[in-house]
Structure 1
Amino acid sequence: MASWRGLPHRAIMSSSRISFFEVEILDCKTKQQLCFLDKILSGIQQDNQYEGRSLKDEEVLRELPVGTTATLYFRDLGPQIGWTMVFLTEYAGPLFVYFLFYFRMPFFYGLAKAFTSSPHSVVHLACCCHSFHYIKRLIETIFVHRFSHGTMPLKSIVKNCFYYWGFAAWLAYYINHPLYTPPSYGKKQISLSMIMFLICETGNFSIHIALSNLKIDGSRSRRYPFPTRNPFTWLFFFVSCPNYTYEVGSWISFTVMTQCVPVGLFTLIGFIQMTIWAKEKHHRYIREFKDYPRIRMSIIPFLL
């Protein structure tokens, strides 16, 4: 699958004349000519490279700093998969994997403990929270998210699934282990972390709704997110990516609730990755919008 894509031909009138282009398509790696297009109308679009960057979907030849002859680079993106399917695969896996350990399948803890149930209420609560988190993600994928890009490389989804599914198995193994012991401070620690978990999950969902509403009119014009009447979106006053802030808060709460080292490591790695994404988006907002609020940070208010 390649990234080249064209629009239906249309005439562009300039000084009562139709403007044509000659377009040379080169392989991005070998620089060999793949084809030469003669008398191309200026309405053509493509996702190729121009001077080191990929052209956006909405860019057309007549808006680029080129003459009537242009050289574009063709990049083969390899096998692709739609973003909706990507997220469904990534999030359905941990849900299924966790239940294998929760119900103590025979090949995990031995036949003596097969299909038994933990006597600790926190174990059952952790299963509910983990399931709720990924069910929410699946619902958001189907009904809430609006994707700017259509596909992801197939090799990337394999890597992502290994990450999500692998960590789900690792933390589920210890939380549901017959030798697992409840948190040090008992019910108080569990209850407080449960409240924080629900607050962060609600906040995360609210931010996703707000981000989705930015594109609800189908417009391709870029706008930065802003707080709404929903109090959970007021975090936009202070950070560019509060969805990541709430996401990290959910996993910190889950870590405190279960007091489990693998959960803590998963939270730490997730925080590092989400910080990278948040900083990239934050700097992109600053570059694109001159009136972007300077008080905002990337992911942690007043700090990071």
Structure 2
Amino acid sequence: MVSVSVKAPGKPATQVDFPGKTAEQVTVLDLKKAIRARGIKIAELRQRLSLPDAADPKARPAVLSEDTHSLAKYGIKESGSEVRCKDLGPQIAWRTVFLAEYFGPIVIQPLLYHLSTKGHTLYGALHKAGLSFLEATPAYEPSTLQKTVLALIVLHYVKREYETVFVHKFSHATMPFRNIFKNCSHYWLLCGVMTAASFFRPQYGAAAVKGTVFDNPIWIGAWSLLWVYGEFSNYLTHMNLRSIRTPPGQPRNFPKGYGFDQVTCANYWFESLTWIALTAMTCDGSFALFTAVSVGQMLQWALKKHKTYRKEHGKNYPKRNIMIPYIW
């Protein structure tokens, strides 16, 4: 019989028993349900179970992170084991967070474009409101460059919404609700507001760029082709990742094939190409900043993923760069 002592903050230790079962037969989710049934009123999705280190109480506890894993996999024995239960607070589905993140630019970019171009005087109104660093210019005719960039950004995030619903599979069902504000700020403020407010200005309008490289169809078309290549390749890598996803509790496979034969995180590399293309096409500082922040974050994720694959697969993991082909 499995017997586990559960300690929750502010509550006495609670003994949870599973008569007639071994630690191999009881999953983490079974334990969470039993904890809730024994009077610790914390929903399963909000529970964070961990094992304290008896030898070093200050050490970081091992977290029982996978609901489908057995207790034995985490070293819990039939008796004498202690588990700590923490309330993670309100949770929200990862899929919902992704949908909310990408929805921002889809709405904000066209809105600021509409308010900033022909027939509207957004910048003049802001100038009158006290933002004297903005020129009180009249409404202007948008350039082909502005129209193209707007279309590419909206298409990018529509694609991301589609992938969130129909392609991506999530390792964890939920995340803390408070994180949605941090996650959305990257897309809503940096991409939605900052790039749109900077790029949809008269300085990039049709009259201002006439006769310059920014009015050259070859310039716009070449960078647009790189963007299309990056987007399509990114989609292919996402489909690849979906196809190798294993059920919870089973060893993870690592991706192979297109893009992944060169780097561990080909999906991040192709994503980076799309933003590099937009930055080069516009030569706008706001796009450069957003691209730098985004690529920097993806580099961190890629390094973590690379280390995880090498740790899990050892010598069976092929030699490849982390995210940037032939460089890193």
The bucket for the TM-score relative to the shorter chain is 0.7 to 0.9
User: Per the alignment, do residues 118 and 78 of structure 1 end up closer, same or farther by CA in structure 2, a change over 3 Å counting?
Assistant: farther
Give secondary structure in 2 for the equivalent of 1:75: strand
- 1:91-170 equivalences under 5 Å are 91-104=102-115, 108-110=122-124, 118-167=141-190, 168-170=192-194
Aligned to 2:50: 49
Aligned to 1:60: 70
TM-score, structure 1 normalization: 0.83
- 1:185 aligns to 2:213 (yes or no): yes
User: Per the alignment, do residues 174 and 31 of structure 1 end up closer, same or farther by CA in structure 2, a change over 3 Å counting?
Assistant: same
- 1:213 aligns to 2:243 (yes or no): yes
Aligned to 1:257: 281
C-alpha distance in 2 between matches for 1:293 and 1:123: 44
Residue-pair matches, total? 276
Give secondary structure in 1 for the equivalent of 2:2: strand
Give secondary structure in 1 for the equivalent of 2:16: strand
Give secondary structure in 2 for the equivalent of 1:300: coil
Aligned to 1:37: 16
RMSD: 2.4
| Fraction of identical pairs, as percent | 29
- Structure 1 spans left out of the alignment, 5+ residues: 1-19, 228-232
Residues 21, 69 of structure 1: 8 Å contact kept: no
Residues 175, 260 of structure 1: 8 Å contact kept: yes
Residues 285, 292 of structure 1: 8 Å contact kept: no
How much does 1:155 deviate?
A: 1.2
Residues 190, 257 of structure 1: 8 Å contact kept: yes
Which of 181, 188, 196 is the equivalent residue of 1:172?
196
How much does 1:31 deviate?
A: 8.2
* Greater CA drift, 43-52 or 272-281: 43-52
C-alpha distance in 1 between matches for 2:234 and 2:6: 43
C-alpha distance in 1 between matches for 2:317 and 2:69: 27
TM-score, structure 2 normalization: 0.77
Give secondary structure in 1 for the equivalent of 2:203: coil
User: Per the alignment, do residues 117 and 216 of structure 1 end up closer, same or farther by CA in structure 2, a change over 3 Å counting?
Assistant: farther
* Greater CA drift, 38-47 or 125-134: 38-47
How much does 1:185 deviate?
A: 2.9
Aligned to 1:16: none
How much does 1:246 deviate?
A: 0.6
C-alpha distance in 2 between matches for 1:26 and 1:146: 33
Give secondary structure in 2 for the equivalent of 1:243: helix
Aligned to 2:129: none
Residues 90, 161 of structure 1: 8 Å contact kept: yes
C-alpha distance in 2 between matches for 1:218 and 1:35: 28
